């Protein structure tokens, strides 16, 4: 409840906490939520939730070495990832794994997520018919769009913030152009 109040005070900039019953329903087919000993089922469920709700390109799970529920959930994650083909999931244990190895694994996964994000942005630019330079110029001419708390929509199927911002800016650009044509 407190977290949600803070989110509201920030103008709903973040997202509200996930419904725990929805998470239980999502994760249960892969990890029995009645299994005792921790919250491993939530790790599985959150991976599914954030991927299915188009909230991220990649899920990075950072956890302590030797946490049994987390280790069990890693086993379940292989079934989840094979079921949801577009999902990028990377579990990293904070000790027991060499720093270089962990860093290398994170860089590889981030590289894949970055490629997806760039492809998504390019697809949105092509779909809207605007260029990145036009969006930058438009945002520069509208100071409200440069504020860190500026809010814009999140289209279903579009994950990246940049791609969603381009969609928003393109709508405003087209509406402004249409208004100028009607006035003339």
What is the tens place of the pLDDT at every residue in 8-65?
A: 888 777 777 888 899 989 988 888 877 766 777 888 899 999 988 888 889 888 777 7
The span from the CA of 38 to the CA of 36, in Å, is 6
Q: Considering the chain, what is the average pLDDT of its residues?
A: 86
Name the β-bridge partners of 60: 90
Residue 156 φ then ψ, to 5°: -60, 135
In this structure, is the dihedral angle defined by the CA atoms of residues 75, 79, 82 and 88, taken in order, positive or negative? Answer: negative
Question: Residues of 85-105 as b/e, b for ≥16 C-beta within 10 angstroms?
Answer: eebbbbbbbeeeeeeeebeee
Nearest to 46 by CA among 25, 71, 67: 25
Instruction: Output the pTM of the full model.
Output: 0.76
pLDDT band for position 96 (cuts 50, 70, 90): low
From first CA to last CA, the distance across the chain in angstroms is: 52
The per-residue pLDDT for 97 is: 56
In this predicted structure, the answer to whether residue 142 has a pLDDT above a threshold of 90 is: yes
Name the β-bridge partners of 91: 61
Domains in the chain: boundaries: 1-97, 110-184
């Amino acid at each position: 409840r407190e977290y949600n109040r803070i989110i509201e005070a920030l103008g709903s900039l973040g997202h509200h906490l996930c419904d725990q019953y929805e998470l239980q329903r999502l994760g249960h087919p892969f990890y029995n939520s009645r299994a005792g000993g921790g919250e491993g089922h939530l790790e599985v469920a959150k991976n599914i939730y954030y991927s299915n709700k188009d909230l991220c390109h990649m899920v990075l799970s950072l956890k302590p070495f030797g946490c049994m529920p987390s280790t069990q959930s890693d086993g379940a994650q292989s079934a989840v990832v094979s079921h949801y083909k577009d999902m990028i999931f990377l579990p990293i244990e904070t000790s027991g794994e060499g720093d270089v190895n962990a860093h290398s694994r994170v860089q590889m996964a981030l590289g894949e997520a970055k490629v997806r994000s760039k492809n998504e942005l390019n697809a949105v630019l092509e779909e809207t018919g605007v260029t990145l330079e036009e969006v930058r110029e438009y945002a520069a001419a509208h100071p409200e769009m440069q504020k860190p708390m500026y809010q814009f929509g999140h289209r279903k199927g579009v994950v990246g913030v940049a791609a969603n911002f381009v969609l928003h800016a393109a709508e405003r650009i087209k509406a402004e152009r249409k208004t100028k044509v009607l006035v003339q």
